Amino acid sequence: MPRLVRHTLLILVPVVAALGVAPFVYGNHLLLFNFIVFMALAQGVNIIYGLTGYLPFGYVGFFGAGAYGFSLVVMHLHTSPFAALLAGGLAAVLLGLLLTPLFRLSGAYFSIANLAAALALLQIVSNPTLEGITKGPYGVSLSGVFNPTLAYNTALAILAATLFLVIYLRNSRFGMALQAIREDAISAAMAGIDVVRARVIAWLLAALIAGLTGAVFAWYISVFYPETVFSGEVSIFAIVFALFGGTATILGPVLGVLILYGVYNAIGISTPQYFQLIYGLLIMGLVLFLPNGLVSLLRRWGIDVP
Amino acid sequence: MLTYTLVAGLLFGLYFSLVGLGLNLVFGVMRIVNLAHGDFLMLGAFLAFWLFKLLAFNPLVTIPVAFALFLLLGLPLYYLLVPRLLSARDPEMLSIILFFGVSQVIEAVTTIAFGTSERSIPGMALGNAVKWAASVIGVGYEPGPVAILGQSFPISWVMSGLAGALAVLGIYLYLYCTRLGYLTRAVMVSREEAISTGIDVHRVSAIAFGIGIALAAIAGIFAPFMLNIITPAMGVDATITSFAVIVIGSLGNPLGTVLGGVIYGVSLIFLQQSSYSSWANTLPYLLLIGVLLARPSGLLGRQTRRA
């Protein structure tokens, strides 16, 4: 059996099936929805950080761009949610194209500039002088298209597509090329890989995933403020979940979300500052003692993880 | 009006240089990003607040106390975190995540200890502190606004600007006139060559790290006067502002930090005075991206950069 099919059957199908059945047996649908959102976002981070080595500290910018792309089209053009969903994805891809010059920066400069871009976008969207277009800081209300069941299933479809994309990248020549660039860009270029093109494609794919996820998030919750969809926590959560599980793997980000987001919901809502403390210590311990994630621990014990 | 904007911008700019100075030093020497920089600033602000509130401590006296305290805190923190981090595959990227964790821990502990309420020190405190300092050296001074070029400015702005200028001068003297500073510059230029010439890189780096967070704490002492309120969550904004300031200037160069601070301060005050004041919050981010794209090495940076 080709690895592509095996990984699809072993990871994609069980995850999507479990999250598809879960609403019938578990009452807190918003929580389940958030699991889908973070799984998609963590895989998006996995593509751009795990495969190319660029750490997108402002990844939430694409999520917010998707949410606002969706909302603006629904509010001003009154289209169907699916057309608006595409607009959300397109908004994120356009933002990604706009930010491609950031690839000239290396290391920390890239991350900081990316973070600044996301924060600048938040400030622009929430500026009171743009109230006529974006509703400024007062938030968006999309009650006209509110349909949580359909939005939930759409999010699940987006997650399935994202997982398939990651499985494909893991097992394809293009994914190998990306990892070669991450290890040594000059050697990769010498081996005939178009470094710039490959990086931009990975970047835009990651942007598209976050944009679609942001759009479906806007659809699902329908009422939100700029700070909700541009919250720095979204980037951080996605990065830490991906890193905790193990980047450049398929299963790592899935495990990371299941464990850490589960812990967050167990203790984070009632006592946020204690959660913040545990979370901070966990992140420090992770970087110092397990920089390649849980998956590397499993591998050390001889269990092969895709 | 223009004079007022320029002088106020210069004073704020010098203060912002102080805010960014420590971050610049740490990045320049260790090539790691101290994302918790703003949180050390916040701790300095809380130290000043509690010393003033409980012991009626003069904020000017708090400066040497904070410097010594945070320098001593920085040394063990360095040895706890950094050597292990530097042995990882991609220390520069991982340092962002590691120090994000440190930032979360500091913010959480401060919130658990003090709650989330906003605090401030009355502006009078600094005026009285200056009066006391003036009487010590035998100069007459009455608390009140200071006149510069025919415009009057709060004493707190003048003192914060002065503190920024003195801190930059101090770092400059440290780097160029002491033996340890000489070694620090050697590590900045090339870590490998510094090791091979027998420099104890970890000792030099640990001291630079301690000085870096001590400078953040000193900037924090003036934060209640310049940023008006202090909360445990203020660290993130302070970190971003520091990044904007040091990237506009250039990394590793204290004079660049002053240039960045002044450009940032003047444009901030200018925007606040203009009819576009609602865009003032967007400024640091746009300046940061603009300068990074136009001149990735900063305005005073040399052209050579790692690939």
Q: What is the DSSP letter of B249?
A: S
| pLDDT reported for residue B53 | 85
Q: What pLDDT, in 10s, does the model give residues A203-235?
A: 999 999 999 999 999 999 999 999 889 988 888
Taking the C-alpha atoms of residue A161 and residue A15, their distance in angstroms, rounded to an integer, is 12
Q: Which of B80, B275, B289, B306 to mutate to test the interface with A (most CBs of A within 10 A)?
A: B289
Of B5, B41, B6, the residue nearest B21 (C-alpha): B41
pTM for this model (two decimals): 0.84
CB–CB contact B108 A276 (8 Å)? yes
Q: What is the pLDDT of residue B298?
A: 64
Please give the Cα distance from A17 to A12 (Å, whole number). 8
The Cα–Cα gap between B217 and B274 comes to 32
Whether A283 and B111 lie within 8 Å, measured CB to CB: no
Asked if residues B229 and B215 have their Cβ atoms less than 8 Å apart, the reply is no
Cα A59 from Cα A253, distance rounded (Å): 15
The SS3 of residue A199 is: helix
Which chain B residues touch A276 with a CB distance below 8 Å?
104-105, 107-108, 111
Taking alpha carbons only, the member of B173, B268, B208, B214 closest to residue B18 is B214
Q: Kindly write down the DSSP assignment for every residue of A123-169, as one continuous string.
A: HHHT-GGGHHHH-GGG-EE-GGG--HHHHHHHHHHHHHHHHHHHHHH
pLDDT tens for each residue of B48-85: 999 988 887 888 888 999 999 999 999 999 999 999 88
Contact at 8 Å (CB) between B29 and B205?
yes
Asked if the Cβ–Cβ distance from A123 to B281 is below 8 Å, we say yes
Structure confidence by residue, pLDDT tens digits, A150-193:
999 999 999 999 999 999 998 899 989 998 988 888 898 899 89
- Domains and their CATH numbers in chain B: 2-294 (1.10.3470)
The answer to whether B39 faces chain A, any CB pair under 8 Å, is: no
Question: How many percent of chain B have pLDDT more than 70?
Answer: 93
| Chain B nearest-CA residue for A124 | B282
pLDDT at B304 over 50: no
List the domains of chain A with CATH numbers: 3-300 (1.10.3470)
ipTM of model:
0.80
Kindly indicate the confidence band of residue B299, based on its pLDDT and cuts at 50, 70 and 90: low
Q: Residue B5's pLDDT is what?
A: 85
Which member of B103, B282, B306 has the closest CB to residue A106? B306
Residue whose structure tokens are 């002491």: B178
C-alpha span between A234 and A265 (Å, rounded) = 15
Contact criterion met (CB < 8 Å) for B97 and A107: no
Q: H helices within chain B, ranges in order?
A: 2-30, 37-55, 59-86, 91-114, 124-136, 155-177, 179-189, 191-196, 201-226, 235-248, 254-273, 283-294
Mean pLDDT of B213-235: 89
Output Rg (C-alpha) for chain B, integer angstroms: 19
Residue B176 has pLDDT above 70, yes or no: yes
Average the pLDDT over A55-81 and give the result. 93
